[in-house]
Amino acid sequence: MAAQFEQHPFLLSAEDVAKQLNSDLDRGLTSSQVTQLQQTYPLNELDVGGAIPWYKIFIKQLLNAMILVLFFALALSFAVGDYIEGGVLAAVIVLNVSIGFFQEYGAEKKMDALRALSSPSAMVLRDGRTEVIANAEVVPGDVVILKMGDTIPADVRLFEAMNLAADEQSLTGESLPVEKTVDPLKDTDLGIGDRINIAYGTTTVQKGRGRGIVISTGMETEVGKIAAVSDNRTSGLRKELLVA
């Protein structure tokens, strides 16, 4: 479940975002609000599963139903002495298993990187007091305090940025730190790399300090959406080869 907004938060003022989340930029959420929100939203975690060893990925490719059918056809071809067709089937099997293995292995390495990026803790403002909490306990509406070196715990609409810049290379590919601002943006078609009043979960504060209000957590963050797509992705090329 994701928090609902009239417009994307990068188009709204931080005050409007706080109002829609029933939060307070100066005091943060109350303890009772946090309890209710934790019952409403999943934990602030990237649900990318546990690490899968490479050999299990390889065995999974070999045990694919279509690959097993191709193995049966291969055995039949060699049994009747049709070595040309058998050779073609062997090449198709090797190609399909290789494509499937390297794609899934590459996706698994990306998942490993995402697991490593997650921050263990976050500094938030609740009941007007600063608290350090487990990253998983962050909820939409939390006011997060950021400083140099921090891993940002969730997607945050910034409302205070003092020389704040974030390293977003892991998310957008941008090699230079992204300077952040707090003003609402006007262009509705901006990509995530250009939404400079948003700080993204799993990216890091390269310099400066700031504060922001959490707008999305866990798999609803931008990196969570990317992780979900990577996890569920299937290869069109591999499907075509199997059908062929």
Residue 134 lies in a domain: yes
**pLDDT tens readout for residues 119-144:** 689 999 999 999 999 999 999 999 99
Query: Do 35 and 130 sit in the same domain of this protein?
Result: yes
Query: Do 147 and 202 sit in the same domain of this protein?
Result: yes
Judge contact between 5 and 215, C-beta under 8 A. Answer: yes
Q: Which of 203, 153, 156, 147 is nearest to 177 (CA)?
A: 203
Query: Do 83 and 105 sit in the same domain of this protein?
Result: yes
CA distance 99 to 64: 13
Residue 217 lies in a domain: yes
Q: Which of 139, 122, 115 is nearest to 227 (CA)?
A: 115
Query: Do 28 and 59 sit in the same domain of this protein?
Result: no
Mean pLDDT of 192-203: 96
Residue 127 lies in a domain: yes
Pairwise pLDDT comparison (180 vs 230), residue with the higher score: 180
Quick check: pTM over 0.75?
no
**pLDDT tens readout for residues 38-82:** 999 999 988 765 567 778 888 888 888 889 999 999 999 988 888
Query: Do 145 and 216 sit in the same domain of this protein?
Result: yes
Show Cβ contacts of residue 171 under 8 Å, excluding neighbours closer than 6 positions: 192, 193, 200, 202, 203, 222, 223, 226
How many domains are there within the chain? 2
Q: Is residue 231 very low, low, confident or very high in pLDDT (cuts 50, 70, 90)?
A: low
Q: Is residue 162 very low, low, confident or very high in pLDDT (cuts 50, 70, 90)?
A: very high
Residue 237 lies in a domain: no
CA distances from 220 to 42, 57, 233 (A): 10, 27, 17
CB atoms within 10 A of CB 91: 10
Greatest CA separation for the chain: 81
Query: Do 138 and 185 sit in the same domain of this protein?
Result: yes
Instruction: Determine the structural domain holding residue 174 and report its residue range.
Output: 9-46+119-221
Handedness of CA 98, 101, 102, 103 (dihedral sign): positive
